[in-house]
Chain A
Amino acid sequence: LAKTTQPISMDSYEGQEVNITCSHNNIATNDYITWYQQFPSQGPRFIIQGYKTKVTNEVASLFIPADRKSSTLSLPRVSLSDTAVYYCLVEDTGRRALTFGSGTRLQVQP
């Protein structure tokens, strides 16, 4: 399983763009990159998934360079409600189980 490395914590202010980078040096050809968000005492919630280049949805963008050894989750104009833990996962296409790392604790301040 590809291991992921991401910052333990980040701080931001409301209205700013936040970029969280995840390193996954031994990602395999068939692996996808997925990000989840978790609030205290709740289950994680899917944010975005990608394989290469750029993916955008209504809440975030995911940038994946050509070598796929890292990825960056971009949250535009964060608000206080974006304060949460963000997990970067690399998924083996043969498995349906998710392997979570330590995550990045994002604190958004007014």
Chain B
Amino acid sequence: KAGVTQTPRYLIKTRGQQVTLSCSPISGHRSVSWYQQTPGQGLQFLFEYFSETQRNKGNFPGRFSGRQFSNSRSEMNVSTLELGDSALYLCASREGANTEAFFGQGTRLTVV
């Protein structure tokens, strides 16, 4: 069974631009969550989708948005990029609550 796949692995963007990150979950997993990891703030929850619906949202500004498609693949979008958005963005998929979450390798975003 293929693992969680995130694309691209690395990305460099300029302040003010927007970016879209992609996550393909493990087959059969309907829950996809996104996390931001920075040295200063650690691992922070962004949002979670289940069956194309956003079920939970973390404390991030509206510039951060996401969606999930009918095949459970998910995308995360960040608009009007700021330098502080530079981080490792991780996606995780799982079958349901209290089941093992499988993380992708992440997308390393650098905003210059």
Mind listing 20 A-B residue pairs with CB under 8 Å?
A: A34-B98, A41-B88, A41-B106, A42-B103, A43-B90, A43-B91, A43-B92, A43-B104, A44-B43, A44-B90, A44-B92, A45-B103, A46-B100, A46-B102, A95-B48, A95-B55, A96-B55, A96-B56, A96-B94, A97-B33
Nearest to A51 among chain B residues (CB) is B98
Residues of A within 8 A of B103 (CB): 42-45
B residues with a Cβ closer than 8 A to A are 4, 31, 33, 35, 42-45, 47-48, 50, 55-56, 58, 88, 90-92, 94, 96-98, 100-106, 108
Q: Is the interface of A mostly helix, strand, loop or mixed?
A: loop
Residues of B within 8 A of A93 (CB): 97-98
A residues with a Cβ closer than 8 A to B are 32, 34, 36, 41-46, 49, 87, 91-103
**Judging by beta carbons under 8 Å apart, are B98 and A43 in contact?**
no
Name, among B56, B91, B92, B101, the residue most crowded by chain A CB atoms within 10 Å (CB to CB): B101
